[in-house]
Structure 1
Amino acid sequence: QRRHQKIIEEAPAVIAKLDVFERMEKAAVTLAKMVGYVSAGTVEYLYNADNDTFHFLELNPRLQVEHPCTEMVADVNLPAAQLQVAMGLPLYRIKDIRILYGMDPWGSSEIEFDNPQIRPNPRGHVIAARITSENPDEGFKPSSGTVQELNFRSSKNVWGYFSVIASGGLHEFADSQFGHCFSWGEDREDARENLVVALKELSIRGDFRTTVEYLIKLLETETYQNNGITTAWLDKLIAEKVQAEKPDLMLGVVCGALHIADQAILSGFQEFQTSLEKGQIQSSNPLKNSADVEFILEGIKFKLKVVKTGPNGYFLLMNKSSLDLEAHRLSDGGLLLSIGGSSYTTYMKEQVNNYRITIGNQTCVLQKENDPTILRSPSAGKLINYMVEDGGHVFAGDVFAEIEVMKMVMELRSSENGCVHYSKRPGSLLEAGSIVAYLTLDDPSRVQMAKLYEGPLPNHESTATHGDKRHQVFRKAKCDLDNILSGYVLPEPYFKDRLRATVEKLMQCLKDPALPLLELQDLISMIQGRVPHHVERSIRKLMSSYASNITSVLCQFPSQQIASVIDSYAATLIKRTDRDVFFMTCQGIVQLVQRYRNGIRGHMKSIVQELLRHYLRVELQFQQGSYDKCVCSFRDKNKDDMLAVVQTIFSHVAVQQKNTLVIMLIDYLCDREPGLTDEMASILTELTQLNKTENSKVALRARQVLIAAHQPPFEHRHNQIESIFLSAIDMSGHDFCPENLQKLINSETAIYEYFKNSSTIQMKL
């Protein structure tokens, strides 16, 4: 118990000896007879295990909330028995009572309760835990608020009931208990283990803290397991500030930083979208994919920069160390986070002074920069009175006010020495975080500041999430480049280095003849058993033939043959529904063979064109006038999809980084795949038509590539320049023909690039 209120109950009381327990029972019956009480009731004793003595505490003429403990070990429906007694039925005529005493359930013989023939024995053991809206980290202070989620998984040995539901709540004038869990077992240890498992699976998410984590901690302590607890045991743990198990420090830092930053980024997007919907055109400043985060955890201050690298990708920076993570936003506002090979479901609740982060069934609190001159109410409630005069002096730890919270009186204490100036009147209703008073510090310089963390982020490889096979690397690289073109860019000095490495990975994968084979193997394994065996066998045979000749220059991926196998079988299906189901099953394979219908080289061309088309699709929206005019025009065209407008503007904000990507792709093709530039002349021509200054580098590079593609080969141009020089000089040294040099001036070919390669030409002036 804590504050003389029970938090864990169990039955039977195995700590008491059998003869002592019998004396307790008889004393309870005697007491009820003395006062003439007839019905169900509860007698409480205080037991001293040192000398086997017990002392009367109270008699409650009613059932208490823990009465299911008695019901489960006695197998008696107490409320039903209570009603039957009220109806006038004697105890020996009640079925459950007769079964308890080993009598015929349908008999009518009287039972000698003072000296029964068969003494009732408890059936197993029961442990009950009260679920309350109290914060165990702050001395079990009660708090109120709404409930977003409540999910209890009952089993054959554990059940519970709750007075609230999801989307419900607790107000500040209610009792803090809102749930009760009961666990049955063959013995005490079995019941304890069952209850621990049930509490670990209990999911409660709301505005307030609960005692669930602390109950698990208590049930797993050696003292409780050995039944060595006393009425002062829990109060002693609270005084010693024993806390429930917390998540790993760096895991809490990472989860907290992700939640805080993601919320800040999301708020910026929502603010921008709201202004667009109102018809306002504001600057793109709110559209940021990064946020600086600061908080204090366990007395240590952390400063991080969080960058969103995609819809589900994040890049964390702290003290020159970095970490790549993947996190998915859940429909209920949580984040499903993958880190270090493990997944965590996390939630955040922002409060006035802190952020409460829930990771699984563990909680950590991230403190904001706390101002000791502002004294706030930690919970919603009613201000009862002040303990010192307005303007009076208090020392650190002194009580300056009392508030009523959920039928309890809570003391508010000062954190520093100073003079208190009140801002609320006694009797005022308070919200959580309401300012109650201000504190003028005696010595502001003595306020202790949190120490800044100077260590690195944890080092976790992210390859396990995406895989390191060639087709998996290709998907990751392609996704990363698409995210950059969507506006999710890293800050320097990380952007260019990572971009260069990603483009290199993409091109290496695109040139690998094993890429389509690996993709097809994945697709075949997914539909195995869902297509006819002979169709699968035919496709696998073509795959095997391609794999055996993959090193040959003449070997081509059998796209047409695989398509023929699928079409041939589909033609044999008479019912249209059967054909639709078959094509739906093989949809992935059909799309694959279409992508590779022009071979590896054609696939490379289509991927690069797809990336360039992504760039054009956004930038073409901003070529017709000023930013405001372009945004207004684009918004009017997409009034039904304002989110798409916001995403397009967000992509345009990163135009400089996107330019770097596009130029890098074009340079790669010119240097290593010059033949593809001719085939991509159409989209390169579209790039040259971008007329804004911010796109000028891309337009210029595309124009240079097109010009170079129409020039004769380098060797041919080199020989032509060399012949002009030689014709201008009389080899015998007698005549000089300057008119021939005029041909160099009139030539359409620049000559400076040939001088460094022309060692055979010498001129005499």
Structure 2
Amino acid sequence: MTRRITRLLVANRAEIASRVFRTCRALGIETVAIHSDADAALPYVREADTAVQLPGNAPSETYLRIDLVLDAARRSGADAIHPGYGFLSENAEFARAVIDAGLIWVGPAPESIDAMGSKIEAKRIMREAGVPTLEAPAEPTEADLPLLVKASAGGGGRGMRVVRRLEDLAGEIAAAEAEALSAFGDGTVFVEPYVEQGRHVEVQVVDTSVYGERDCSIQRRHQKVVEEAPAPGLSDEVRAALHEAARKAAEAVDYRGAGTVEFLYDPATERFFFLEMNTRLQVEHPVTELVHDVDLVERQIASAESSWTMGWSDPPRSHAIEVRLYAEDPSADYQPQSGTLTTFEIPLEDGIRVDAGFESGSEVSTHYDAMLAKVIAHAPTRRAAARKLAGVLSRAKIHGLVTNRDLLVSILRDEAFLRGDVSTDFLGGFETGASAPSSTTESSAVAAAIALAERAKGVRTVQRGIPVAWRNVTSQPQRTEFEGGLVVEWFGAYSVEGHTVVAASADSVTLETDGVRSTYDVAVVGDAVDVDGPEGHVRLTRVPRFVDPADAVASGSLLAPMPGTVVRVAVEQGQTVGAGDPVLVLEAMKMQHTVSAPYAGVVTEINVSTGAQVASGEVLAVVEEA
């Protein structure tokens, strides 16, 4: 029986909500957004025809509350619910509740979600269906290392740990259980062999039709960073076998709707093994849409309405690459960042697609995933797509937060990546720091200093006719200092050694250096100065001329690396600790981060307790060196 959807609620937030709304508008379906307090000002809320607030911020009190989501559907008059990805998207109880409420569930049957929801049970079903699986020994030995501990109920890298020493296995299992329980409400984990040089290749299905494969091998913390379609370097035989295995997997659970069957592929042997089946739309679905010319959300809706006939997709005739732009610092072990995204402008050029959840001025909170946007390039060849995507990312203006943008550009321009030499440990030896060449930093600093001077000139209330930096007696240069030891010295009329200032304003400076003329865009927020030039983006922080002694902290102070929640205090005041011993554990953006002792000593202060909310830079504890 065909049921028509007239008003659809997306039980999710940010980028994926906007993505589903876009297809709904094209189909003439009205839309409903739900939002927490922290998300009230995000773009997806105003893009919807109707929005319903879920009071609170934590996922457990908002987006994970089945009763609140159903009540929002009732109050807004929605007749269908799309779960997006994450949160309740693979929750069979939620799917049943939606169906029992008389609403259309845009997803697979609850029975299919149950069957694939436990990775342990999913493996059993796949074995019976003839799909190859990875199996770990009941009693692992040194010969079985390395091993991978995985959460049975979740994904996205949470509750996943690599074990390289048998003595670490018990501790890593406990840590994975705690992380899985926090992220998914289920602490069940299992252990399987870890293939060091394997590739993560997955197949898109809708019902039991196959829409090609994607390569998602480039990952950090077991979470995908770069995805592409089709997967490079696969033989026709392997590609056909992967597609057939995915079709068998879908048939084994009578699958309906969009889903993804994930495999671990070993290039050395050309063998592949079932990892899991995601019973939802994947984050990386745009690359499949672009190379197969299909709208997967539209297919999801049609499947839920029982209004389309299954069929095989056409082979891809082009290539698409997607990168996930995260608010995180790769040079600091990918620590998530939060705060105001003061500028967020990504060029929309031919062949470029941007699925974003944020915009200039958006607040990035600590409550949810750190992904800001997905940027996708579509081109006739893989190298053309990589070059186009790297160029657009390098020209993007992203201010206010540290992101992984420079890392993504480096990956896309890396010769090994361009050859297709990718694996799940690709980033293991990759240079993650974004260190700009000294000449680039120097030019940016000069531009920043000149723009700051122009800015000061523009806000004068007296002596407005006097030139910038004018002095009666020129005894010494003007001096502007930035963190990191960068100092710019200049005299009146912007005389800077090695540079000629061609034009200057509070937000743009043109310099000529060694006969080469370049223009730098400058944005100032407080002491932070963002400079975008031909060589990329540099963020500088101006050092104040006078420092308040009250701002200093005691030696040995352990500062919060990010805003978050204290989930464990591992020591007591007066306790002796060794270098690297855990002192506290913070949780931010659904990941746990350990704050360790910088050296051997004694804990003289503990300023927080379990459950406390802390701000970035807050003094958590003090360790006095032995």
Give the structure-2-normalised TM-score: 0.55
State the Cα distance separating 1:36 from its structure 2 match: 2.1
Aligned counterpart, 1:161: 355
The answer to whether residue 526 in structure 2 is matched with residue 342 in structure 1 is: no
State the Cα distance separating 1:129 from its structure 2 match: 0.7
- Counterpart contact for 2:451–2:505, Cα < 8 Å: no
The answer to whether residue 247 in structure 2 is matched with residue 247 in structure 1 is: no
Aligned counterpart, 2:413: 220
Distance 2:377 2:438 in 1: 32
Aligned counterpart, 1:377: 560
1:229 paired residue among 391, 397, 422: 422
Matched position secondary structure for 2:250: helix
Report the CA distance shift for 1:186/1:315 in structure 2 as closer, same or farther (over 3 A): closer
Moved more, 386-395 or 173-182: 386-395
Q: How far does the alpha carbon of each residue in 1:709-745 deviate from its partner, in whole angstroms, 9 at most, with x for none?
A: xxxxxxxxxxxxxxxxxxxxxxxxxxxxxxxxxxxxx
Q: How far does the alpha carbon of each residue in 1:557-609 deviate from its partner, in whole angstroms, 9 at most, with x for none?
A: xxxxxxxxxxxxxxxxxxxxxxxxxxxxxxxxxxxxxxxxxxxxxxxxxxxxx
Distance 2:332 2:526 in 1: 15
Distance 1:266 1:290 in 2: 18
Report the CA distance shift for 1:345/1:355 in structure 2 as closer, same or farther (over 3 A): closer
- Counterpart contact for 2:451–2:506, Cα < 8 Å: no
Distance 2:438 2:449 in 1: 16
Matched position secondary structure for 2:373: strand
Distance 1:343 1:382 in 2: 45
- Counterpart contact for 2:449–2:488, Cα < 8 Å: no
Q: How far does the alpha carbon of each residue in 1:5-36 deviate from its partner, in whole angstroms, 9 at most, with x for none?
A: 00000011133221122121121121122122
Report the CA distance shift for 1:198/1:356 in structure 2 as closer, same or farther (over 3 A): closer
The answer to whether residue 602 in structure 2 is matched with residue 428 in structure 1 is: no
Report the CA distance shift for 1:45/1:267 in structure 2 as closer, same or farther (over 3 A): same
2:624 paired residue among 440, 451, 456: 440
Unpaired stretches in structure 1, ≥5 consecutive residues: 101-119, 275-287, 317-321, 443-765
Distance 1:259 1:7 in 2: 32
Higher relative contact order (CA 8 A, sep 6+): 2
Q: Output the amino acid matched with 1:127.
A: I
Matches within 5 A, 1:47-196: 47-92=265-310, 97=311, 100=313, 120-196=314-390
Distance 2:542 2:574 in 1: 28
Matches within 5 A, 1:672-683: none
- Counterpart contact for 1:337–1:346, Cα < 8 Å: no
Q: How far does the alpha carbon of each residue in 1:89-135 deviate from its partner, in whole angstroms, 9 at most, with x for none?
A: 3524xxxx57x4xxxxxxxxxxxxxxxxxxx3212111111111111
State the Cα distance separating 1:422 from its structure 2 match: 2.3
Report the CA distance shift for 1:429/1:328 in structure 2 as closer, same or farther (over 3 A): farther
Distance 2:281 2:238 in 1: 24
Q: Output the amino acid matched with 1:34.
A: A
Distance 1:430 1:289 in 2: 44
Aligned counterpart, 1:328: 504
Distance 1:261 1:437 in 2: 41
State the Cα distance separating 1:305 from its structure 2 match: 6.4
The percentage of counterpart residues that share the same residue type is 24
Distance 1:193 1:35 in 2: 40
Distance 2:501 2:597 in 1: 41
State the Cα distance separating 1:157 from its structure 2 match: 1.5
1:363 paired residue among 538, 551, 561: 538
Larger fraction in strand = 2
Q: Output the amino acid matched with 1:392.
A: Q
Distance 2:523 2:408 in 1: 22
Q: Output the amino acid matched with 1:67.
A: H
Distance 2:567 2:456 in 1: 38
RMSD, matched Cα: 3.6
- Counterpart contact for 1:395–1:417, Cα < 8 Å: yes
Report the CA distance shift for 1:293/1:376 in structure 2 as closer, same or farther (over 3 A): farther
Report the CA distance shift for 1:404/1:257 in structure 2 as closer, same or farther (over 3 A): farther
Q: How far does the alpha carbon of each residue in 1:462-493 deviate from its partner, in whole angstroms, 9 at most, with x for none?
A: xxxxxxxxxxxxxxxxxxxxxxxxxxxxxxxx
Report the CA distance shift for 1:72/1:147 in structure 2 as closer, same or farther (over 3 A): same
State the Cα distance separating 1:39 from its structure 2 match: 1.5
State the Cα distance separating 1:152 from its structure 2 match: 1.8
Report the CA distance shift for 1:8/1:127 in structure 2 as closer, same or farther (over 3 A): same
Aligned counterpart, 2:582: 399
Q: Output the amino acid matched with 1:11.
A: A
Matched position secondary structure for 1:15: coil
Q: How far does the alpha carbon of each residue in 1:655-690 deviate from its partner, in whole angstroms, 9 at most, with x for none?
A: xxxxxxxxxxxxxxxxxxxxxxxxxxxxxxxxxxxx
State the Cα distance separating 1:269 from its structure 2 match: 10
Aligned counterpart, 1:202: 396
1:25 paired residue among 243, 252, 275: 243
Moved more, 10-19 or 224-233: 10-19
Report the CA distance shift for 1:427/1:293 in structure 2 as closer, same or farther (over 3 A): farther
Distance 2:444 2:321 in 1: 34
Distance 2:348 2:447 in 1: 33
- Counterpart contact for 1:255–1:346, Cα < 8 Å: no
Matched position secondary structure for 2:258: coil
State the Cα distance separating 1:226 from its structure 2 match: 1.1
Larger fraction in helix = 1
State the Cα distance separating 1:143 from its structure 2 match: 0.5
- Counterpart contact for 2:367–2:590, Cα < 8 Å: yes
The answer to whether residue 503 in structure 2 is matched with residue 306 in structure 1 is: no
State the Cα distance separating 1:62 from its structure 2 match: 1.2
Distance 2:521 2:620 in 1: 32
Distance 2:478 2:582 in 1: 39
Report the CA distance shift for 1:211/1:289 in structure 2 as closer, same or farther (over 3 A): farther
Distance 2:542 2:490 in 1: 22
Report the CA distance shift for 1:243/1:367 in structure 2 as closer, same or farther (over 3 A): farther
Report the CA distance shift for 1:296/1:395 in structure 2 as closer, same or farther (over 3 A): farther
- Counterpart contact for 2:226–2:322, Cα < 8 Å: yes
Q: Output the amino acid matched with 1:248.
A: P
Report the CA distance shift for 1:126/1:250 in structure 2 as closer, same or farther (over 3 A): closer
Report the CA distance shift for 1:154/1:348 in structure 2 as closer, same or farther (over 3 A): closer
Q: Output the amino acid matched with 1:7.
A: V
- Counterpart contact for 1:330–1:336, Cα < 8 Å: no
Q: How far does the alpha carbon of each residue in 1:361-415 deviate from its partner, in whole angstroms, 9 at most, with x for none?
A: 2336679799753332222222222333224344444432221121111222344
Give the structure-1-normalised TM-score: 0.45
Kindly tell me the number of residue pairs found equivalent between the two proteins: 386
Q: Output the amino acid matched with 2:517.
A: S
